[in-house]
Amino acid sequence: MDQFWENDFVVTAGYYSVVILCTIVFLALFELVTRYRNWEEIKKGNLSVAMATGGKIFGVANIFRHSIAQHDSLLNMISWGVFGFILLIIGYFIFEFMTPKFNIDKEIREDNRAVGLISLIISVGLSYVIGAGI
């Protein structure tokens, strides 16, 4: 049975499955902290929400990519991935705090594409910094 769990295909499928599950959970948590409903807005064609959500998905995936590369057990990979996600969500709140002249969520919900693009870039950029640290 040990050979089964050490098989590269099984290990890759395991990491993949866990990251998909974590991504779904993390997107649900992001949905709780934003003032808009991601999938409803995307269905309406809101490109700003799509960009912001895409940045979050990429950010989470990139953090887990680094976590998988740096840690040799599934539990360590998950722990560091969760820690990275927490840092990413803190980055979201810092972005909101750093823009006191307008409300990020309101602008994205109203399809302000400039804000949606900056949100995407911040999520992607922070994911690289977070990934390098984990």
The mean pLDDT of the chain is 93
Q: Would you say 134 and 80 are in contact if contact means Cβ atoms under 8 Å apart?
A: yes
Interval 31-79: pLDDT, tens = 998 989 999 999 999 999 999 999 999 999 999 999 999 988 889 999 9
Cα gap 15→75, rounded to integer Å: 10
pTM (predicted TM-score): 0.89
Measured between alpha carbons, how far is residue 126 from residues 10, 84, 85, 96 in Å?
A: 30, 10, 10, 15
**85, pLDDT greater than 90:** yes
Cα gap 37→127, rounded to integer Å: 23
**134, pLDDT greater than 70:** yes
Cα gap 64→131, rounded to integer Å: 8
Range 78-90 average pLDDT: 95
Q: Would you say 103 and 36 are in contact if contact means Cβ atoms under 8 Å apart?
A: no
Residues 97-113 as b/e (b if ≥16 CB within 10 A, e otherwise) read eeeeeeebbebbbebbe
Output the pLDDT for position 72.
81
